[in-house]
Amino acid sequence: MSTALAVFVVQQEFSDSAWKKSAPVIVGEQGATIYLGQDESENLRKVQKAGRQLDNLGVSSAKLSGEGWDFERQWAFANGYTDTRSTNKLEWASNSEALTQTRNVVNWTRELVNLPPMDIYPEALAQRVAEKLESLAPEKVSSRVIKGDELLQEGWMGIHTVGRASKRPPCMLVVDYNPTGNADAEIDTVLVGKGITFDSGGYSLKSSEGMLAMKCDMGGAATVAGALGLAIEQGLQKRVQLVLCCAENLVDGSAYLLGDIITYKNGLTVEVVNTDAEGRLVLADGLQYAGEVGAKRVIDAATLTGAAQVAVGNEYNALFSVDDELANKALSTAAAQRENLWRLPLQPWHKENTPSAFADCANSRPQKGGGTGGASNAAGFLLRFAPNDGKGWLHFDIAGAYHNSANAMWATGATALGVRTIAALLQD
């Protein structure tokens, strides 16, 4: 006999005077009931809030019961009902295989981001991701890790520069998912993820409060890894490569300094004016790799700028691209996947918004937050390294990927917002 709390959805207003009309969920003798209206977007928000409220009430096991539970309503409930440690048990009303598949990958993504930095350092992140993806398709997945001074030998200057002050060496993980069996098969997409497993800010040192959540600075790497994992589970038939740019941004006598100049593999020189603008320095290597292998499309994800979070809040991811057709496809895909995504400005001239008198460009502006338009300027910096002048490139600044504290929609920690959208883009 199931001891799970039954949860029902009803398409009507409730009239029980014992409960406020604003209550997301009503608990009674038969279980919990969520009363829905005519606006489905608001319904999904209410369902997610209901899941959050039941978690707050201490419900550890729930069963979605009765009619009215389509895929998206069930997924919205699961997002709200997932506690930080992903311990709640949930029985689906329908679509159980697809929902379980999605939930397992998303919870794995969240776990990666929520792990403490003592457990998820550069090599550990690379190892966990490689092992996970190889377990999903052992005969179709291969991987290699380029570590420490090997990065210098292969020309990956950004990752090495940012991570060289840590006793745990920086690394680049390259995963090749090739379902064709042909070693010369075309690479459809390269996914690039920012894998800064802890960000002190370097010599542009963060405050203690600003540093507390910086284990989440590898959220971009976790997101693209989760997206590839979900796409593989869903039967992806295209060759895709994953590149994670992994480092700890720490301080010691060997750390990179303000005023240092990095010469990248493509010959571009970059003056460091803010060591806390390190994510773009490592992503530059990943974007160059994508160009070297001739990928048709490049998608990167990063917890890159506070400016994006200021612009779109914690409810949205921010999208940047100079490829209008691909950007519109990403927006429509996100809408279909019920994930909030908003496009922010990016034009070719944004490349000039981080000038330097001493190098081809700087990695930021020497102002707090990179000055006005900081998120677009960061994307403009990346555009310098994107293949084909940005044709076929999408940049996700994942402002909604982590919450420092719980709210009405999400538990404390990672949300994995963006995994479904990027996975769907891989399938398209």
Q: Which residues are catalytic?
A: 206, 280
- How would you classify the pairing of strands 61-64 and 5-10? parallel
| DSSP string of 133-177, one letter each residue | HHHHSTTTEEEEEEETTHHHHHT-HHHHHHHTTSSS--EEEEEEE
Question: 144: which strand partners?
Answer: 174
* Cβ(194)–Cβ(283) below 8 Å: yes
Q: Which helix (H) or strand (E) holds 128?
A: helix 122-136
Q: Which helix (H) or strand (E) holds 425?
A: helix 419-427
One-letter amino acid of 138:
P
Q: Is 312 helix (H, G, I), strand (E, B) or coil?
A: helix
Residue whose tokens read 């806390």: 276
Answer left, alpha or beta for residue 109, where phi above 0 means left and psi between -120 and 50 means alpha. alpha
Q: How far is it, in rounded angstroms, from Cα 66 to Cα 91?
A: 12
Alpha helices in 295-349 (DSSP H): 306-312, 324-336
List the structure tokens of 329. 């496809």
